[in-house]
Amino acid sequence: MSNNHEYVIAIDLGTTGNRAILFDKDGAIVKQAYKELTQYYPQPGWVEHDAGEIWRETRQLVNEVIAEADTQPSQIAALGLTVQRETCLLWDKTTGKPLHHAIVWQDRRTAPMCRQLHEERKAEPIQQRTGLVLDAYFSATKLAWLLDRVKSDNPNLDLSNAIAGTIDTWVLWNLTGGKVHATDRSNASRTMLMNLETGDWDPQLLRLFDISESMMPKVMPSLGHFGATKGDLFGAEIPITAIFGDQQAALFAHGCDRPGLLKCTYGTGCFLVAQTGTEMVRSQNQLLTTVAWADENTTNYALEGAMFTTGACIQWLRDGLELIKSAPETQTLCESVPDSNGVFFVPALSGLGAPHWDMGARGSFQGITGGVRREHMVRSVLESIAYQVKEVVDAMNRDGDTAISLLKVDGGASQNDFLMQFQADVLGIPVERPAILDATAQGSAFGAGLVVGFYPDYAELVSKRQVDRTFEPGAGAEKAQADFEMWKKAVDRAKNWVE
Ligand code: ADP
């Protein structure tokens, strides 16, 4: 490897926003740029992104960090890409234009299609093949919906030009100037079209959803050579050597490469992911079996509890209800009252994921009385994030032999000290927060750098990560755990709200 390589670059395309980060030889952050992403809510339960905006921002953010770091693109050894998962789109490979907005993972528009599949007794074979619970969350029904819509909107359209992909595939295709149409196995495992045993598209599932294999990207290992950025984009051909789903990237960054190690990321949603090694573990408690990552020779698997709406509730307090001006403000607001004054919030803004999998659940505030103020409402929303994680930790404990004794966290909302303390209280175990909360970006940078030899050793890289703070269960634990029982009652009432 040439000696002038000083950095690796991570592109982290999240649900709330997009990021580019330059990492140095020690795995430390040198520069970063971030921009929030526009959310479109065309109907209740529908969520869309403009894939054109995602690509324009990606290009802009990469150029911005390179310029601000005062470096040459030729000094970048490799590029790692990590993305919001399941979100998918169709585009025209001749014009490069998306044929519709991307449908975001939180979107519930295909719930009726899923219900029909449930009635046709397809849930079990789908779970057997993909490791996933049949739900509108995953890409398959979204792609089927997009194909239908695009065909009915443009009856004369030549569909042989249309290709499909998740956000990694879209951005990889653009980064390589339309040369590479591929995805990695961790992202593919979230589409509900990949067979977990073969690690490739399942012909029966493609038939079931009426999706032609020729539109689908090639499934590749997460760690390997995907191609290089087109020279004129950033001024150098940077090798693209790692692609992960965002949760899998965070798992990689935390050093969770062996069974028994797990992490929870607090972003738009919360995702508790436990490494199970090269063994596929099937859950008895509605958790997902998924690919952690793959290299040329090996595939690692994970068990996952996906909670759809956590940080997103905080965005909603800010942008929808306008109860707060910024997310960090919730910390002081929550700490200004001793409790939520009897208010319980059910964060089912996109239905409920693990462990309920209820597409018809909707959000609700319950227990409101005349003395309730803004602070109590806000506090109930933050508490509900911790309660959801508690439910999934309980489910994982029921699935495993050893009870979880420490929760490693990361993600935007883990900055919130109130939330982390309340989480430790309600779980009754310590919560460990690292110094670098962008584990997602960090994981993809680590992966990309390891493939090209920029980083010599994974274990050493992971050992350099530092803990910022450990939250121990404290004086609030007893009340938090009692309130968790009340909250479960509220959840029961919010379930099956829409048919
Ligand atoms: P994603 O990768 O899903 O886009 P991030 O990890 O970037 O998510 O985190 C963004 C989320 O974190 C937003 O939903 C935001 O509301 C939440 N967030 C950011 N800062 C705070 C904070 N100080 N307190 C609580 N939530 C926060």
**For the chain, what is the domain count?**
1
Query: Measuring from atom 15 of ligand 1, which residue has the nearest CA?
Result: 311
- The residues near 182 (Cβ < 8 Å, ≥ 6 apart) are 169, 172, 217, 218, 219, 220, 226, 227
pLDDT band (50, 70, 90) for residue 3: low
Atom of ligand 1 nearest to the CA of 268: 3
In the reported structure, the alpha carbon of residue 75 is separated from the centroid of ligand 1 by a whole-number distance in angstroms of: 31
Whether 499 has a pLDDT exceeding 80, the answer reads no
pLDDT beyond 90 at 52: yes
Sequence-separated contacts (24+) of 95-101 with Cβ below 8 Å: 96/174, 96/178, 97/52, 98/50, 98/51, 98/52, 98/170, 99/146, 99/150, 99/154, 99/157, 99/162, 100/146, 100/149, 100/150, 101/40, 101/48, 101/49, 101/50, 101/51
Q: How far is the CA of 267 from the centre of ligand 1 (A)?
A: 5
Ligand 1 atom closest to residue 314's alpha carbon, by position in its atom list: 16
Quick check: 494 pLDDT over 80? yes
- For the stretch 8-51, pLDDT in tens is 999 999 999 999 999 999 999 999 999 999 999 999 989 999 99
pLDDT digits (tens, 9 = 90+) for 387-396: 999 999 999 9
Which whole number is the average pLDDT over 470-493? 96
Residue 240 lies in a domain: yes
Ligand 1 atom closest to 437 (CA): 6
Q: Give the position, in ligand 1's atom list, of the atom nearest the Cα of 312.
A: 14
- Asked whether the predicted pLDDT for residue 175 surpasses 90, the reply is yes
pLDDT of residue 225: 97
Residue 408 placed within a domain: no
What's the CATH number where 232 sits? Answer: 3.30.420.40
Mean pLDDT (whole number) for 466-470: 95
Ligand 1: distance of its center to the CA of 413 in Å? 4
Mean pLDDT, rounded, of the chain: 95
Classify residue 181: in a domain, yes or no: yes
Residue 2 reports pLDDT greater than 70? no
How far apart are the CA of 68 and the centre of ligand 1, in A? 24
Residue 1 has pLDDT above 80, yes or no: no
At 401-454, the pLDDT tens digits run 888 999 999 999 999 999 999 999 999 999 999 998 999 999 999 999 999 999
Choice from 266, 349, 436 to test ligand 1 binding pocket (greatest atom count within 8 A of CB): 266
Instruction: Let me know if residue 288 belongs to a domain.
Output: no
**Domain span at 89:** 7-254
Question: Sorting pLDDT into bands at 50, 70 and 90, what band is 205?
Answer: very high
Q: Which numbered atom of ligand 1 lies nearest the CA of 269?
A: 3
* pLDDT exceeds cutoff 80 at 319: yes
In a domain, 64, yes or no: yes
pTM above 0.85, yes or no: yes
328 in any annotated domain: no
In a domain, 488, yes or no: no
Q: Is pLDDT at 455 greater than 80 in this prediction?
A: yes
Confidence of residue 350 (pLDDT cuts 50, 70, 90): confident
- Give the model confidence (pLDDT) of 351-407 as tens digits: 999 999 998 999 999 999 999 999 999 999 999 999 999 999 999 999 888 889 999
Q: Which residues line ligand 1 (CB under 6 A)?
A: 14-17, 246, 267-268, 311-312, 314-315, 327-328, 330, 411-413, 415-416
